[in-house]
């Protein structure tokens, strides 16, 4: 797969002063779309760390307005092209909504300002909420169902129709190679015990990094359309009945491996303590995994192959391993990508992810049994 883009720090939503100034300039942006006249002030929306996001209410309805962060996505027109393809493919689907884009007055699905910023306006799905973490089995089933429905919806969409918005985003061998290069460049520098422990952990699992790339090269799995970031806070739930309504944050929809999607979803949802756990004694929750996996399998069982299923266990631990690598690499480079509150936070997050890998490995037999049960024994295929 294509090597990763050069890491850049994601930009958080503007601070209070910047936000106030930005909001005052947004009336002209909204007027550039065919969405009616403003009837309420434009207000910041959500806690996203990448794009600037606002809620907009007009005479025609309620919308989400976003400025795409071009430091993270240097070619945002490719994102918009992908969203247009996805929206056309999903049109009429009743099982999973894709937020509709509002056309600008020039007919394009986005607006470019004289300063070069790219803005988009999309429908705000009513009666929808996000969750910070899973608290019930029903919520876990809805997560699995939503991701499975997305993969089912896009199973007949040729991935070659989509652009790579973040090339190499989940190419774990490249993250490992970058780590080893950083280590070599540092030479015999003095490391603290936590850094040394992380490096020893990585060295013991170097072969894990290429497990999906090897399966892809051997033809056991294939490229499909992926979401790219199916975390719990990127799923909209109905505020009353709790059903999953939509997957949002679609900037990373691109060709990829659905094993990355499922592995990342399980990694993030089944670690109840989160990425910033106070300690590094974290647990991979088997009960949540069972609910997510069984609901996902119900949507995908008829089109995933034995080769697809065979690598699911390794995919789960791979995604925790990859994120641990990325946190550690950023720590070694001076915290230039992930936002941190203090020096050492990325190192701590790396230790949490590696502890999660270790717990997944300790529960290997149980996780494989859940996969086999969900896919009718196909999880035993090697």
Domains identified in the chain and CATH numbers: 16-124 (3.30.200.20), 137-380 (3.90.1200.10)
Question: Which band of pLDDT confidence, cut at 50, 70 and 90, is reported for residue 272?
Answer: confident
Q: What is the pLDDT of residue 48?
A: 67
Quote the tokens at residue 150. Answer: 């997305």
Q: What is the pLDDT of residue 14?
A: 42
DSSP H helices, the chain, are: 16-24, 26-31, 76-90, 137-153, 172-186, 193-204, 211-217, 258-269, 286-300, 306-310, 312-332, 345-362, 364-374
Quote the tokens at residue 3. Answer: 């090597």
pLDDT digits (tens, 9 = 90+) for 301-346: 999 999 999 999 999 999 999 999 999 999 999 988 777 889 999 9
- The answer to whether residue 69 scores a pLDDT higher than 60 is yes
Work out the average pLDDT over 16-23: 48
CA distance 345 to 339: 9
| Average pLDDT score over the chain | 88
Question: Which band of pLDDT confidence, cut at 50, 70 and 90, is reported for residue 132?
Answer: confident
**Top mean-pLDDT range of 113-117, 165-169, 214-218:** 214-218
Which strands form 43-44's sheet, in the order they lie side by side?
43-44, 52-58, 61-67, 118-123, 111-112
Q: What is the pLDDT of residue 6?
A: 34
What percent of the chain clears pLDDT 70, i.e. is strictly above it? 90
Q: What is the pLDDT of residue 380?
A: 45
Q: What is the pLDDT of residue 371?
A: 97
Query: What is the DSSP code (8-state) at residue 136?
Result: S
Q: What is the pLDDT of residue 24?
A: 57
Contact by Cβ (8 Å): 378, 309: yes
Query: What is the DSSP code (8-state) at residue 380?
Result: G
pLDDT digits (tens, 9 = 90+) for 185-228: 988 777 899 999 999 999 999 999 999 999 999 999 999 999 99
Of 36-45, 96-105, 241-250, 275-284, the poorest mean pLDDT is in 275-284
Q: Roughly how many angstroms between the first and final C-alpha of the chain, as a whole number?
A: 23
Give whole-number Cα distances, 237 to 138, 139, 374, in Å: 11, 9, 24
Of 113-122, 186-195, 281-290, 318-327, the poorest mean pLDDT is in 186-195
Location of structure tokens 């230790």:
351
- The answer to whether residue 165 scores a pLDDT higher than 60 is yes
CA distance 97 to 100: 9
Of 3-7, 78-82, 188-192, the poorest mean pLDDT is in 3-7
CA distance 145 to 297: 8
Contact by Cβ (8 Å): 98, 250: yes
**Residue of 47 and 210 predicted with greater confidence:** 210
Q: Which of 28, 19, 152 is nearest to 95 (CA)?
A: 152
Of 1-10, 56-65, 203-212, 344-353, the poorest mean pLDDT is in 1-10
- The answer to whether residue 76 scores a pLDDT higher than 80 is yes
């Amino acid at each position: 797969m294509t090597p990763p883009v050069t890491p850049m720090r994601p930009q958080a939503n503007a601070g209070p002063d910047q936000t106030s100034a930005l909001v005052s300039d947004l009336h002209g942006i909204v007027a550039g779309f065919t969405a009616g006249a403003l009837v309420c002030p434009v207000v910041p929306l959500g806690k996203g760390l990448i794009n600037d996001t606002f809620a907009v209410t007009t005479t025609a309805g309620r919308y989400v307005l976003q400025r795409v962060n071009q430091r993270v996505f240097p070619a945002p027109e490719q994102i918009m092209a992908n969203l247009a393809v996805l929206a056309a493919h999903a049109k009429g689907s009743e099982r999973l909504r894709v937020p509709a884009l509002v056309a600008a007055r020039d007919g394009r699905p986005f607006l470019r300002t004289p300063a070069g910023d790219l803005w988009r306006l999309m429908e705000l799905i009513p009666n929808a909420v996000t969750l910070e973490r899973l608290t019930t089995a029903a919520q876990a089933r809805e997560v699995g169902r939503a991701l499975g429905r997305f993969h089912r919806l896009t199973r007949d969409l040729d991935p070659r129709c989509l652009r790579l918005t973040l090339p190499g985003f989940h190419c774990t061998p490249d993250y490992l190679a970058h780590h080893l290069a950083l280590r070599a460049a540092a030479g015999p520098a003095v490391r603290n015990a936590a850094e040394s422990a992380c490096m020893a952990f990585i060295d013991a699992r170097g072969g894990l990094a290429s497990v999906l790339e090897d399966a892809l090269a051997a033809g056991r799995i294939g490229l499909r359309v992926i979401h790219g970031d199916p975390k719990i806070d990127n799923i909209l739930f109905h505020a009353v009945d709790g059903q999953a309504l939509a997957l949002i944050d679609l900037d990373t929809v691109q060709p990829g491996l659905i094993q990355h999607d499922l592995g990342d979803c399980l990694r993030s949802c089944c670690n109840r303590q989160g990425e910033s756990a106070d300690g590094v004694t974290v647990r991979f929750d088997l009960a949540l995994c069972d609910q997510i996996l069984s609901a996902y399998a119900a949507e995908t069982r008829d089109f995933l192959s034995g080769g697809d299923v065979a690598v699911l266990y390794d995919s789960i631990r791979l995604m925790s391993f990859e994120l641990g690598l990325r946190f550690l690499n950023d720590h070694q480079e001076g915290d230039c990508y992930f936002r941190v509150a203090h020096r050492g936070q990325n190192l701590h997050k790396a230790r949490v992810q590696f502890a999660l890998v270790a717990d997944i490995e300790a529960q290997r037999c149980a996780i494989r049994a859940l996969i086999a049960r969900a896919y009718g024994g196909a999880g035993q295929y090697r």
